[in-house]
């Protein structure tokens, strides 16, 4: 038997333990063409909050009483597929459970020699690719331009800022604690960082961006985003990746309308999800891996130990507790 986490009922506002259930289920046996996978790492991500609502989006909502799914790295413990051997490391969209049975086409092998396997859920995974394509394909930062990133110490934001630095931009991060601000400037080489919890975001942003803002990578929304719009330069670009400040709003998310700001500066806002770039993933992984191995790109992971703490790790995302990618370590590599 193994443990699984299901969505018991849909959160209204901020999710709590009450919304989830932990159930026991048989581990099962793989059929022909399937593998049995022992979960090593589970990715907890803000976007999963959206899937807990019963509303139309780019990805269908979770069903009640079904196991929650996200990115998982695991190790094959039994293979009924010619494509995998026992001991192989794999990546897939799998359940929040200790073991998964997966079809051979639904997971892919990852190389533990290129990077620690957890990196395939962070810098070499969806969050790294989200940063890569959102910034470069939509944000298009040019040398000397000013790039502002919100959620800057998070999984996506921390990679965005570093790629923008690689491209020669001046990078300003917005984050929620002095520890994060220090991390951004001292560890990741951001030119400036702002603690929105202790500073007046409007005036700090103006001070940090004396030449205005050319690219704003949006992870947060809300009043932080509101303070960016008046500082946009002509032809500014805003990749809209996330709006974590509003994910738990039970009420409508209200603020200044953006139309006049966009008109006055001929600026662009483009919502996106990393899935739009699936045909180009190998390009992104190649670039990220190269920056990683040449030391141009650092990544941070906040790892919560133990399957039983998975729900807490998810809930912590909305408290801004994580530095870099939030992961749950379920088991040791064998």
Interface with its own copies by CB under 8 A: which residues? 50, 56-58, 218, 221-222, 225, 234, 240-243, 246-247, 252-273, 276
**Environment class of 314 (CB within 10 Å of its CB; exposed 0-12, middle 13-18, buried 19+):** buried
Q: Shortest approach of its own copies to residue 284 CB, angstroms?
A: 17
Q: Shortest approach of its own copies to residue 81 CB, angstroms?
A: 34
Q: Shortest approach of its own copies to residue 330 CB, angstroms?
A: 29
Please report, to the nearest 10 degrees, the dihedral formed by the alpha carbons of residues 47, 49, 51, 57 taken in order. Answer: -60
Q: Which is nearer to its own copies, 175 or 241 (CB)?
A: 241
Query: 49-87 as b/e, with b when 16 or more CB fall inside 10 Å?
Result: bbbbeeeeeeeeebeeeebbbbbbbbbbbbbebeebeee
Q: Which is nearer to its own copies, 106 or 234 (CB)?
A: 234
Q: Which is nearer to its own copies, 22 or 268 (CB)?
A: 268
Q: Which is nearer to its own copies, 116 or 202 (CB)?
A: 202
DSSP string, 47-98: THHHHTSSS--SSPPPPTTSBPEEEEEEEEEEE-STT--TT-EEEEEEESBS
Q: What angle do CA 33, 44, 83 make, to 5 degrees?
A: 20
Q: Which is nearer to its own copies, 256 or 306 (CB)?
A: 256
* Cα 333 → chain centroid: 24
Structure token digits, residue 230: 């008046």
Q: CB 260: neighbour CB atoms within 10 A?
A: 10
Q: Which is nearer to its own copies, 269 or 303 (CB)?
A: 269
Q: Which is nearer to its own copies, 76 or 236 (CB)?
A: 236
Q: φ, ψ for residue 92 (rounded to 5)?
A: -165, 175
Cβ partners under 8 Å of residue 209, min gap 6: 146, 148, 172, 231
Q: Shortest approach of its own copies to residue 47 CB, angstroms?
A: 9
DSSP string, 270-287: EE--GGGGGGGHHHHHHH
Q: Which is nearer to its own copies, 264 or 286 (CB)?
A: 264
Q: Shortest approach of its own copies to residue 146 CB, angstroms?
A: 16
Structure token digits, residue 227: 């303070």
Q: Shortest approach of its own copies to residue 252 CB, angstroms?
A: 5
Q: Which residue has the tokens 């990393």?
A: 274
Q: Shortest approach of its own copies to residue 273 CB, angstroms?
A: 6
d(CA 26, CA 2): 6
CB–CB of 298/291 below 8 Å?
no
Q: Which is nearer to its own copies, 21 or 271 (CB)?
A: 271
Q: Shortest approach of its own copies to residue 265 CB, angstroms?
A: 6
Residue 131's closest CA among 213, 316, 139, 268?
139
Q: Shortest approach of its own copies to residue 205 CB, angstroms?
A: 16
């Amino acid at each position: 038997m193994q443990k699984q986490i299901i969505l018991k009922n849909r959160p209204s506002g901020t999710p709590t333990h009450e919304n989830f259930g932990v159930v026991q289920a048989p581990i099962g046996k793989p059929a022909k063409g399937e593998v049995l996978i022992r979960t090593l790492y589970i990715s907890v991500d803000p976007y999963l909050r959206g899937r807990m609502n019963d509303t139309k989006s780019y990805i269908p909502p979770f069903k009640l009483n079904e196991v929650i799914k996200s990115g998982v790295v695991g190790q094959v413990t039994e293979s009924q597929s010619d494509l995998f051997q026992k001991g192989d490391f794999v990546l897939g969209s799998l359940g929040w459970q200790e073991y998964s049975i997966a079809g051979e086409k639904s997971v892919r092998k990852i190389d533990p020699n290129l990077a620690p396997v957890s990196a395939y859920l962070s810098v070499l995974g969806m969050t790294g690719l989200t940063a890569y394509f959102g910034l470069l394909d939509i944000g298009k930062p040019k040398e000397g331009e000013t790039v502002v990133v919100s959620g800057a110490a998070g999984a996506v934001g921390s990679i965005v800022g570093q790629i923008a630095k690689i491209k020669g931009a001046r990078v300003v991060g917005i984050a929620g604690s002095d520890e994060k601000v220090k991390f951004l400037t001292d560890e990741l080489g951001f030119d400036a960082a702002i603690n929105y919890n202790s500073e007046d975001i409007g005036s700090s942003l103006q001070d940090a961006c004396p030449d205005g803002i050319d690219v704003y990578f949006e992870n947060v929304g809300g009043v932080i985003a509101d303070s960016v719009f008046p500082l946009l330069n002509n032809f500014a670009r805003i990749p809209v990746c996330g709006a974590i400040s509003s994910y738990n709003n039970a009420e409508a998310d209200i603020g200044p309308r953006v139309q006049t700001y966009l008109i006055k500066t001929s600026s662009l806002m483009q919502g996106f999800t990393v899935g739009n770039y699936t045909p180009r993933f190998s390009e992104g992984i190649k670039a990220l891996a190269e920056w990683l191995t040449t030391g141009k790109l650092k990544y941070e992971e906040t790892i919560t130990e133990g399957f039983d703490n998975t729900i807490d790790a998810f809930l912590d995302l909305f408290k801004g507790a994580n530095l870099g990618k939030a992961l749950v370590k379920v088991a040791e590599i064998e």
